[in-house]
């Protein structure tokens, strides 16, 4: 397990902008701090000189000097803000990318339990909260702290006793703030969690809006939304109360500090050791202490949010793959069909005792094809996912080309094994990107067109106004389910896999279209090992072996010819079930 300090270090490392940028930023912030510190020195002179009756010209020079300092201070602040936000965005972009990369590397067991909306909140929402905070932190907290230190030094130089009192007070307030902040963090975390859940649910409902409308469940969904919102409110109220109490307490404590300094000033001045101008100076400096402190406290709420975000980011980073990359990966042949072997494979989800697969033994020589048959939910898809190493078996071993899948580099495995599933996943991106999955070097446009024609989408491509550049809607908007499935086939044609898994791949195609790409599938499977899952037995006419799966076990396994010829085999009974009605049916 990774400790919180480690993940925090990871976050900081990703945010660090590099030495030179950091130095430039530090300089900008330093200037932003020093300029306002000089201004009260001029007002002190101004007051003392005015009381002493100095010339109007001298007073005017002081006033103009004050103006120059103040205005350049503002400009410096703006420059610092610009620099800080640039660097903060660079850093948080790195963080967001690294989080996305980490999350993408997690196995399907993790993704199966999370909605895309939740992932948005965790990969983007938390990072945005952090980005906002980093900018504010550099400008408000760091600059304010510097200003505070500067003020303390100057006041100490003016009067050691008053300076000492101020210093002691600042330390006390600081300690109080740090303690109070610990109290408020869990509350802020809860608010964020409720928020994430609210939007996770919302995202699902919006994606399923048509199902909800057509089944008249709209008002019910809105009602549920109100219930979730009430939970957000309760968490928010609790967090705000805590945060507000903290703010109020700090304000009061600070006022007492100011009063203390002013009281001391009055006392010292009574004895004549302090000029009126110096008293004004002290007052101005205490006023200057007030603003940074308020800014810092203001940022505490942000800090709580950011800390909660960092905790959650750390949590995501701490999610370990259940399937580690091999330490000494063993190579797979770069070309040619791969053999496949499942030896005594069993599987259960980590949080679940129920065994999804038990004692599965299957063996395919290179170029052989296997058909998996069984009821829905019998475990066919899980077997396919084992082959793709989306899960590791809890018992037994899966071998590709004779190598344990756990010893194969994942990138190599995914290059050599390819899958077409019934759930086609399309992106709101160009046709080209949907085919190549954003890999520009994968194939040139001619190849893409050829492949689309090969799967029977040539005509479809011609109807598109921008050709390969046409942007498809998300989740396949503007593309029928059948067309989507053809696109998924086209994806498979673009690589040169040694093993192909077709998981109910043609379930959304009508027979005419399926026939159309039969030849294309035939070409895809030529000289390739393949695992076919299909509920339509006609799709299995080409396979060499059949395995009938029931309740996670292989209940029948053998060459298709043999099984089909044996009237007592389960497979041939399934064929009869499909064929019986055909005999009684009227063919005109």
Partner 1 sequence: MVAVRLARFDLRSYVAGGLLWAAFLVVPLLTGLVLKALFDQLSGHREATLDASLWLCAIFVAIEATRGAILWLALTVWPRWWNSVATTLRANALSSILTARGPAATRLPHSSGEAVSRFRDDVHDVAMLTDNAVDLFGAVIFGASAFVIMSTIDPVITLVLVLPLSVVLVLSRVLSDVIRRIHSRARQLGAAVTAFIGETFSGVLAIKTAGAEEAVLERLREHNRRRRQAAVKDRLAMDLLDTATGATVELSIGLVLLLAAPAMRRGDFTVGDLALFTSYIGWLTALPRIVGRMLYRVPQAAVATERLTRLMAEHESADHLSRRTGVWFDGDPPPVLEEIPARDDPLKVIEARGLTVRHGDSERGLEAADLRIERGSFTVVTGAVGAGKTTLVRAFLGLLPVESGTVSWNDERIDDPGTFLVPDRAAYAGQVPRLFSESLRENLLMGWPVDDPALDRALELAALEQDLAEMPEGLDTVVGPRGVRLSGGQVQRATAARALVRSPELLVVDDLSSALDVETEQLLWDRIADAAKDGRGPATLLVVSHRRAALERADQIVVLDRGRVVGTGSLPELLRTCTEMRRLWDEELVVEAEEQKTSASTH
Site for partner 1 in 480-509 (CB under 8 A): 480-483, 486, 488, 491, 495, 504, 507-509
272 binds partner 1, rule: CB under 8 A = no
Q: Which stretch binds partner 1 (CB under 8 A): 90-98, 143-151, 313-321, 324-332?
A: 90-98
Residue closer to partner 1 by CB (options 4, 543) is 543
d(CA 404, CA 413): 11
Largest CA distance in the chain: 121
348 binds partner 1, rule: CB under 8 A = no
Tell which one of 14, 29, 37, 47 touches partner 1 (CB under 8 A): 47
d(CA 503, CA 212): 28
Residues 405 to 424 in contact with partner 1, rule: CB under 8 A: 410-411, 413-415, 417-419, 421-424
Measured CA angle at 58 (ends 57, 59), to 5 deg? 90
Task: Give first-to-last CA distance, the chain, whole Å.
Answer: 69
478 binds partner 1, rule: CB under 8 A = yes
Tell which one of 24, 346, 537, 544 touches partner 1 (CB under 8 A): 537
d(CA 238, CA 316): 26
Tell which one of 161, 172, 267, 445 touches partner 1 (CB under 8 A): 267
State in angstroms the smallest separation of the CB of 392 from partner 1. 14
d(CA 571, CA 563): 6
316 binds partner 1, rule: CB under 8 A = no
d(CA 336, CA 402): 14
460 binds partner 1, rule: CB under 8 A = yes
d(CA 129, CA 37): 31
Residues 372 to 411 in contact with partner 1, rule: CB under 8 A: 373-377, 381, 388, 390, 410-411
Residue closer to partner 1 by CB (options 311, 434) is 434
318, 2 Cβ separation under 8 angstroms = yes
Sequential DSSP letters for 5-17 = HHHHHHHHHHH--
Residues 203 to 242 in contact with partner 1, rule: CB under 8 A: 203-223, 225-227, 229-230, 232-234, 236-237, 240-241
477 binds partner 1, rule: CB under 8 A = yes
Query: Quick one: CA torsion of 56, 59, 60, 65, rounded to 10 degrees?
Result: 170
> How many amino acids of this chain bind partner 1 (CB under 8 A)?
198
State in angstroms the smallest separation of the CB of 331 from partner 1. 16
273 binds partner 1, rule: CB under 8 A = no
d(CA 68, CA 73): 8
Sequential DSSP letters for 413-482 = HHHHEEEE-SS----SSBHHHHHHTT-TTS--HHHHHHHHHHTT-HHHHHH-TTGGGPBPPGGGTTS-HH
Residues 564 to 583 in contact with partner 1, rule: CB under 8 A: 564-567, 572, 574-579, 581-582
515 binds partner 1, rule: CB under 8 A = yes
21 binds partner 1, rule: CB under 8 A = no
Q: Which stretch binds partner 1 (CB under 8 A): 83-91, 172-180, 336-344, 362-370?
A: 83-91
State in angstroms the smallest separation of the CB of 308 from partner 1. 17
Query: Where does residue 366 rank: exposed (0-12), middle (13-18), buried (19+ CB within 10 A)?
Result: middle
Residue closer to partner 1 by CB (options 160, 578) is 578
DSSP symbol at 407: G
């Amino acid at each position: 397990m990774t400790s919180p300090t480690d993940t925090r270090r990871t976050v900081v490392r990703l945010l660090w902008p590099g030495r030179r940028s950091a130095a430039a930023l530090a300089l900008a912030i330093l200037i932003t701090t020093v300029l306002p510190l000089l201004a009260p020195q001029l007002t002190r002179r101004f007051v003392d000189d005015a009381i002493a009756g100095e010339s109007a010209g001298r007073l005017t020079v002081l006033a103009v000097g004050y103006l120059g300092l103040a205005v350049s201070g503002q400009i410096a602040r703006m420059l610092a803000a610009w620099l800080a936000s640039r660097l903060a965005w660079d850093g948080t972009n790195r963080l967001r990318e690294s989080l996305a990369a980490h999350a993408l590397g997690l196995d399907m067991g993790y993704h199966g339990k999370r909605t895309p909306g939740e992932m948005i909140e965790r990969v983007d929402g938390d990072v945005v909260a952090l980005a906002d905070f980093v900018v504010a932190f550099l400008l408000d907290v760091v600059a304010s702290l510097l200003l505070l230190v500067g003020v303390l030094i100057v006041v100490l130089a003016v009067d050691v006793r008053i300076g000492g009192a101020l210093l002691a007070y600042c330390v006390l307030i600081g300690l109080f703030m740090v303690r109070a902040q610990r109290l408020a963090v869990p509350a802020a975390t809860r608010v964020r969690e409720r928020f994430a859940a609210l939007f996770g649910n919302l995202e699902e409902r919006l994606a399923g809006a048509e199902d909800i409308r057509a089944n008249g469940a709209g008002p019910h969904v809105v009602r549920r939304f109100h219930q979730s919102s009430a939970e957000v409110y309760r968490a928010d109220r609790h967090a705000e109360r805590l945060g507000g109490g903290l703010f109020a307490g700090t304000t009061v404590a600070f006022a007492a500090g100011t009063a203390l300094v002013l009281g001391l000033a009055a006392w010292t001045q009574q004895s004549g050791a302090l000029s009126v101008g110096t008293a004004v100076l002290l007052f101005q400096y205490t006023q200057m202490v007030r603003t940074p402190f308020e800014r810092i406290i203001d940022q505490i709420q942000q800090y709580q949010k950011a800390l909660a975000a960092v905790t959650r980011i750390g949590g995501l980073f701490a999610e370990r793959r259940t399937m580690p990359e091999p330490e000494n990966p063993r190579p797979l042949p770069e070309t040619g069909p791969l053999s496949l072997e499942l030896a005594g494979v069993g599987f259960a989800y980590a949080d679940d005792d129920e065994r999804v697969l038990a004692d599965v033994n299957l063996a395919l020589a290179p170029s052989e094809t296997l058909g998996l048959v069984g009821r829905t939910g019998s475990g066919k898809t899980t077997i396919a996912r084992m082959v793709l190493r989306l899960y590791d078996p809890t018992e037994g071993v899966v071998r590709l080309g004779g190598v344990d899948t756990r010893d194969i580099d994942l990138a190599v495995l995914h290059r050599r094994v390819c899958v077409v599933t019934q759930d086609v996943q399309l992106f709101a991106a160009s046709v080209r990107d949907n085919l190549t999955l954003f890999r520009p070097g994968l194939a040139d446009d001619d190849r893409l067109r050829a492949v689309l024609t090969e799967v029977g989408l040539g005509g479809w491509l011609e109807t598109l106004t921008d050709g390969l550049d046409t942007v498809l809607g998300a989740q396949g908007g503007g593309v029928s389910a059948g067309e989507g499935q053809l696109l998924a086939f086209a994806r498979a044609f673009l690589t040169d896999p040694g093993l192909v898994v077709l998981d109910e791949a043609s379930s959304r195609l009508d027979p005419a279209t399926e026939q159309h790409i039969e030849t294309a599938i035939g070409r895809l499977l030529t000289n390739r090992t393949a695992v076919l899952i299909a509920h339509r037995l006609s799709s299995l006419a080409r396979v060499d072996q059949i395995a009938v799966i029931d309740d996670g076990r292989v209940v029948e396994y053998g060459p298709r010819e043999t099984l089909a010829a044996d009237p007592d085999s389960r497979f041939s009974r399934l064929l009869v079930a499909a064929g019986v009605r055909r005999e009684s049916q009227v063919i005109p």
